[in-house]
Amino acid sequence: MDTNLGQVELVKDINPEVFEDGSPLDSYPDSLVEFNDKLYFAANDGETGRALFVSDGTTDGTQLVTDVFPETIASPVSILVIFQT
């Protein structure tokens, strides 16, 4: 994963929904953690609510990992920690 802070660009719009006035909704990504050349983060996609996502830096490689609690509007994904045994 390129960690060069020189350039930032949108890889994929996680939440493409818009408000009535046409302005975009936010996916509120946070808790970003890099592991094995992938970026894991919590975000709201507008369908499953808050959930765990992963990105390899490409559009196709940016996707939902899991909805921890699919029966609720949002999973309590907030603090990501790398745990190795």
Question: What single letter denotes the amino acid at residue 47?
Answer: E
Domain for residue 68, yes or no? yes
Domain for residue 3, yes or no? no
Number of domains in the chain: 1
Token pair for residue 49?
């609510």
Domain for residue 10, yes or no? no
Range of the domain at 51: 28-85
Q: What is the distance between the alpha carbons of residues 68 and 48, in angstroms, rounded to a whole number?
A: 10
Predicted model pTM: 0.79
Domain for residue 4, yes or no? no
Domain for residue 14, yes or no? no
Domain for residue 22, yes or no? no
- Closest residue by Cα to residue 29 from 84, 85, 77: 77
Domain for residue 53, yes or no? yes
Task: Inform me whether the pLDDT recorded for 1 exceeds 60.
Answer: no
Domain for residue 17, yes or no? no
pLDDT band (50, 70, 90) for residue 3: low
What SS3 class is residue 58?
coil
